[in-house]
Structure 1
């Protein structure tokens, strides 16, 4: 049940996020659907490649595709005045998708008895893979590569599951809320990882 709930939440959140980005970039209706679907399922496809699951397994998620299409259609039909605050809502849905899919990816790898490193990689790829593909197709710098803290939260979620700190359904939901909240706070308060600029100063 927890798996299905997280999959549904992540699918809706990333489908909405992809659709909003597409409309922000003034894509036509086909572009909106393509970007929404790619964002919702891109992370899972990349994860499957890395942990040895056939990519074709994604096609078994018929219900999730229907949910994604419904979410994209709903967003496309929303009045413009509800969608003009892109940064607020786009980042919020992206944070939800990151948390839900990072936990789902970690659970997926853990259930296959992969080592801790693979669990963490699955969490990061599932949580951020769709967003990376979305941003690249939209001609944007991927969120995961920006100085704002992003993939770190997926790493921590994967670590918590991989070492067995989080086990029960309640603990997984708490981890989901916590991961989402940390990602939201990181862009609201501009928390950043250390970085260096090696470009020559003028």
Structure 2
């Protein structure tokens, strides 16, 4: 039940996020649908490839594809002001990250992968679609900037990999915590350490 709920939540959130970014980038209707679908399913597809799940299973998620297509259509038909407001709400990206990070960790943990693999599965499932979305939208992926983003997915993976969240209420609580942390870190501009490198100028 938790798996299915997180699947739906993450799909809607990331499909909406991808569609909004595509519209902002002035893509045509085909571009909006493609970017929305890639954002919604890209992370799971990469996870499946890296954990040995046949890629054909991706195409068997008919109900999720329908949900994503309906979501993208709604976003595309919204007035400009509503789309602008959606762009301001980073909450959709945070919801997708939280839902898919936990889902990815749950899968890796269920097949008894080691802790690092569970954390990686959480990270790539939660952030993979967003990375592909940003690249296709010609933006720097948010994952590789100073913002605290990928860390929250890895923390979710660590908690699940340690066996500290197995019951439904524990997983929903973890989802809420990761979502809240992502929203707070974005709101207050929390950053991870970073270095800059200036090229030496020749004489």
Q: Same fold (TM over 0.5)?
A: yes
* Counterpart for residue 184 of structure 2: 185
Inter-partner Cα distance in structure 2 for 1:38 and 1:79: 23
Cα RMSD (Å): 1.2
Say if 1:48 and 1:54, in contact at 8 Å, map to a contact too.
yes
Runs of 4+ in 1 over 6 A off after TM superposition: none
* Counterpart for residue 168 of structure 2: 169
1:42-53 to structure 2, matched below 5 A, reads: 42-53=42-53
* Counterpart for residue 157 of structure 1: 156
Inter-partner Cα distance in structure 2 for 1:117 and 1:194: 22
1:45-194 to structure 2, matched below 5 A, reads: 45-89=45-89, 91-194=90-193
Say if 1:49 and 1:55, in contact at 8 Å, map to a contact too.
yes
Structure 2 gaps, min length 5: none
Change (3 A) 1:179 1:201: farther
Inter-partner Cα distance in structure 1 for 2:169 and 2:2: 9
Inter-partner Cα distance in structure 1 for 2:170 and 2:135: 34
Inter-partner Cα distance in structure 2 for 1:26 and 1:92: 22
Number of residue-to-residue matches in the alignment: 201
Say if 1:43 and 1:125, in contact at 8 Å, map to a contact too.
yes
Inter-partner Cα distance in structure 1 for 2:156 and 2:2: 15
